């Protein structure tokens, strides 16, 4: 009976997902200040950090703080983000990444004093799409689904009702890095909090 109960519990956890063990993840471009408290990651994002590749600006940036785990197959990642954005292009969200030429980042990006729900899709070169939010909500919830040859991005401002932001091609059958990302391309740092980051495998 105990064995059956354990298997049932394991199946439920697999179905609904559970908080990622943040201490088992790894950094790409670790910030000078970061702290893990249970299922919450705090960081101060260092200035002169960003992710972008060529389009419009003509430069390549690949040095923002990115705290990730590796995942094969289909999965859904989710997180709640609260940032103290202050300067143009301050940003925080989720990133799924194969290498420096194949990645997607999504989240809040601060432009002209307004929070924008943002997605950048990069395959050799980057593109950018935004949904302005003039009320600048305190927090945003994100869901990133990787399935087959696509990534679907959804966002919410209450953690319950989600709207789709983007559907984009993403190379299939390749292990990917998935995790929390931030950047401060200008001269000012900012603080951001990521809560309840989860990665759930999706069955076909």
pLDDT score of 80 more than 50: yes
Q: Per residue in 134-168, pLDDT tens?
A: 888 899 999 999 999 999 999 999 999 999 999 99
Q: How far is CA 30 from CA 13, 15, 123, 164, in A?
A: 30, 32, 24, 30
Q: What is the pTM of this model?
A: 0.90
Classified as helix, coil or strand, 58 is coil
- CATH number given to 19-201: 2.60.120.200
- What is the DSSP-derived secondary structure letter of residue 57? T
Asked if 45 and 194 count as a contact pair (C-beta separation under 8 A), the reply is: no
Number of H helices, E strands in the chain: 1, 16
Q: What is the distance between the alpha carbons of residues 11 and 17, in angstroms, rounded to a whole number?
A: 10
Q: Per residue in 7-63, pLDDT tens?
A: 344 344 444 445 689 999 999 999 999 999 999 999 999 999 999 999 999 999 999
pLDDT bracket for residue 204 (50, 70, 90): low
Q: What is the distance between the alpha carbons of residues 132 and 136, in angstroms, rounded to a whole number?
A: 9
Q: To which residue do tokens 């670790």 refer? A: 30
Q: To which residue do tokens 């993403």 refer? A: 170
Report domain extents, the chain. Answer: 19-201
Structure token digits, residue 44: 């101060």
pLDDT at position 135 is 84
pLDDT score of 201 more than 50: yes
How much of the chain, in percent, has pLDDT values that exceed 90? 85
Asked if 50 and 183 count as a contact pair (C-beta separation under 8 A), the reply is: yes
């Amino acid at each position: 009976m105990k064995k059956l109960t354990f298997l049932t519990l394991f199946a439920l956890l697999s179905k609904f997902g559970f908080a990622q063990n943040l201490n088992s993840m790894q950094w790409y471009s670790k910030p000078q200040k970061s702290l893990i408290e249970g299922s919450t990651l705090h960081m101060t994002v260092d200035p002169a950090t960003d992710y972008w590749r060529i389009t419009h600006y003509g430069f390549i940036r690949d040095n923002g703080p990115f705290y990730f785990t590796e995942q094969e197959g289909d999965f859904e990642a989710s997180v709640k983000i609260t940032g103290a954005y202050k300067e143009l292009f301050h940003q925080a969200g989720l990133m799924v990444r194969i290498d420096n030429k194949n990645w997607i980042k999504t989240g809040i990006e601060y432009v002209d004093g307004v929070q924008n729900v943002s997605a950048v899709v990069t395959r050799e070169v980057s593109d950018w799409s935004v949904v302005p939010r003039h009320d600048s909500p305190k927090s945003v919830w994100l869901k990133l689904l990787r399935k087959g040859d696509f990534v679907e991005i959804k966002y919410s401002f209450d953690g319950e009702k989600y709207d789709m932001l983007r559907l984009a091609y993403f190379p299939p059958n390749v292990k990917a890095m998935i995790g929390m990302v931030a950047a401060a391309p200008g001269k000012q740092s900012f603080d951001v909090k990521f809560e309840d980051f989860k990665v759930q495998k999706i069955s076909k």
